[in-house]
Amino acid sequence: MVAMKALFVPFAPSLAHVSRCLAVAEAWRDRGHIAIFAIGAERSALARTAGFDTRPVPEVAGAVFRTDRGLRWFSPTYFSDNLAAEQAILAEVDPDIVVFDFRFTTSLSARLAGRPAVSILHGNALRFALHPRETAQLLIGDRGAAHGIAALRVLILRQLFPIVFQLIMRVAARRWAPLLKAYGCPPVNSPFELLLGDEMLVADLPDLLPPKLPPHTHIVGPLMWSGWEQPASWLDEFDNRPLVYVTTGSTVKAEAVLVKIIDALRDGSYNVVVSTGSLSLPSGLELPSHIRAFPTVPGAVVMSRCVAVVHLGGHATLMQALAAGVPSLILPVNPDQILVARQAQALDIGYSPWRMGSLPIDPRWQRALTPTEIREALDKVIRDQKYARACRTLKSKLSAFRGATLAAEILEGIARATPGNRTRQ
């Protein structure tokens, strides 16, 4: 069998982007091929522990990324430094194919090296890249049952916010216009356009995709990596109360929200497992015996035993919850998470108290959210059986996808069909 070499380049501050690449890389390796990771130092040990060779690339620190709501970290210097690093790695590794997830420079690096660039993304990343105006309107929502001033506010925001959103994206994209021009590339209207590869692996369910997908798009279904799953015997120490899983992911600074969630669940109606991830709970915060907090937990194991998941709206977390057939309570912070919350509500696979008509770049609604409101919203998700039924339906759809295995097969076909590519024994 002819072995081929793939270079995987994930955006390291977010575990979701790294784990998707790891899932595909393992399937690629299982097919007899070679996978190498170009990855920031913060997550390089994760790739090495999974058995992959790594090369270092510059990366924004996770703490900076989680507190920067305006992509200020994505500067011309960051762009040029990563472009140079990726070009050097490509020259050394000489891969047959390049696979990236949420890396703004990798498509250009691969093009300059004459290698096919394949991006891994989900449906909402495609929405931001291809349909910015419609996406901005989705972020605002519709009037629903609102009347009077509230309805007028939604109407005005639906007209104005798309214009403002597109303007913000164009201003941001101008930062790199000189660099793109220097390499003979056309300008872009949004940073998200840089996330599109020659081919795209869409790690999502059809129910969550935009209506029009571009050519060279391959729907492979959710890509979930199980490398950090392990037995959790401590779950047996809980009594027979329903179990709730709480996680805030790795992309935002959300200590205050996490404390509110814990306060909402102090009364003891539920057993609670909290994954703090990159966050730190206040040193003086006391947890009752029915609430246990860990830096990381085996998410799939915990979700298989819980009745609901409380999270911020990370796409990977929603996919993991659906794989377990468990509904979500979503407390979004950033625009991508708001889209996830809206989609979950539309499909009855989750509920969010996010107020329609709130600006998606203004987190004040979450600061005003009380522990009582969080608790009432969670009770709603658990008691109304429509959420559990909808989750079971999508779980069956999700199980029909081949995910990473299909993705690896598609990568093989792309690499072999690329003119001038070499194959290795």
Q: How many CB atoms lie within 10 A of CB 413?
A: 11
Closest CA to 156 of 133, 176, 137: 137
CA 123 to chain centre: 10
Q: What is the pLDDT confidence band of residue 144, given thresholds at 50, 70 and 90?
A: low
Closest CA to 86 of 116, 65, 55, 117: 55
Residue 291: partners with Cβ closer than 8 Å, 6 or more residues away:
262, 265, 266, 271, 272, 274
Same-domain pairing of 301 and 261? yes
Quick check: is 248 in a domain?
yes
CA 114 to chain centre: 28
Query: Residue 231 pLDDT > 90, yes or no?
Result: no
Closest CA to 223 of 120, 314, 129, 116: 120
Same-domain pairing of 388 and 408? no
Same-domain pairing of 258 and 110? no
The most confident of the ranges 31-45, 71-85, 167-181, 352-366 is 31-45
Closest CA to 318 of 227, 376, 417, 394: 394
53-77 tens-digit pLDDT: 999 999 988 777 777 666 678 888 8
Domain count, the chain: 2
Quick check: is 228 in a domain?
no
Identity of the residue numbered 149: I
Judge residue 37's burial from the number of C-beta atoms within 10 Å of its C-beta, 0-12 exposed, 13-18 middle, 19 or more buried.
Answer: buried
Query: Residue 103 pLDDT > 70, yes or no?
Result: yes
Q: What is the pLDDT confidence band of residue 420, given thresholds at 50, 70 and 90?
A: low
- Determine the structural domain holding residue 138 and report its residue range: 5-222+401-417
Same-domain pairing of 310 and 348? yes
The pair of structure tokens assigned to 153 is 């506010």
Looking only at Cα atoms, what is the longest distance across the chain? 70
Q: What percentage of the chain reaches a pLDDT higher than 70? A: 91
How large is the average pLDDT for residues 199-223?
93
Could you tell me the CATH number of the domain that includes residue 339?
3.40.50.2000
pTM as predicted: 0.92
Q: Which residue has the tokens 């194919």?
A: 97
Same-domain pairing of 174 and 272? no
Same-domain pairing of 114 and 206? yes
Quick check: is 23 in a domain?
yes
Quick check: is 327 in a domain?
yes
pLDDT of residue 384: 96
286-337 tens-digit pLDDT: 899 999 999 888 888 999 999 999 999 999 999 999 999 999 999 988 888 8
CA distance 153 to 362: 15
Residue 201: partners with Cβ closer than 8 Å, 6 or more residues away:
24, 99, 118, 119, 120, 121, 218, 220, 223, 407, 410
pLDDT of residue 425: 40
pLDDT of residue 111: 94
pLDDT of residue 151: 72
